[in-house]
Amino acid sequence: MEQFQIETAQNITIQQNTSNLGERMLAYIIDSFVIVVYTILVFVFLASLDIEFEDQWAFYLILSIPAFLYYLLFETLMNGKTIGKGAMSLRVVKLDGSKPNFANYFVRWALRIIDVTVTSGGGAVLTILLRGKGQRLGDIAAGTTVISEKKRISLHDTLLRDLPEDYQPTFSQVTVFKDREIQTIKELYDGAKLNGNHNIIVSLDNRIKEVTGIQTEMKPIEFVDVVIKDYNYYTQKM
């Protein structure tokens, strides 16, 4: 899973996990299935109406608008997700870490005609593979990408950090915390990094400094990470 960094207004560097091509394709298949099912239901509904054929087409054009605007509507109303993206734990975000606005979603949707429709998806696949950062042409133009919100289970998902043998702690004051407090800090920190919630990391930075009295010039994201590692170092040595 490819990662890319974003630098926020608070000078915090956030690692984001871009979605892989397989996840994007599965999400697309799910969304296409939803659109097809909706379209079939529209035809069934129109067939059940006792109206002229010419009138049926007029009704069809009206009822097909939701399918035509599917991606634009769902991504705008569901915070960057469609039904397919939601099922695959994917979400559209801006490269600077902020939430896309309607204009960003509109550009992605409009260029889908070139990315997906005209090239049968080949243009999107080629651009994603060559460009990196999980971007198709619509994403490049809109300044967005698609990230994976799936959590990968590893040693970092527990209280313990995998420390190198020659690790040297920086702040002995971290021993004032209890296990459950550090666990809470770690869960908030890991979740904030994953979702790009910079304010949570800044709040953790401020709260830890208040409790421990530590003074440092480290960036908040670096400081909180060091605090977690230092706590693990000292507790593993006890």
- How far is it, in rounded angstroms, from Cα 133 to Cα 77? 24
pLDDT band at 233 (very low <50, low <70, confident <90, very high): confident
H/E stretch holding 29 reads helix 21-48
**Of 52, 58, 85, nearest in space to 71 by CA:** 85
The confidence score (pLDDT) of residue 159 equals: 55
**Mean pLDDT within 88-116:** 89
pLDDT digits (tens, 9 = 90+) for 89-100: 999 998 876 789
Highest mean pLDDT among 30-44, 192-206, 222-236 belongs to 30-44
Please report, rounded to a whole number, the percentage of residues in the chain having pLDDT higher than 70.
Answer: 86
Query: pLDDT digit string (tens) for 133-145?
Result: 778 999 999 999 9
pLDDT greater than 50 at residue 9: no
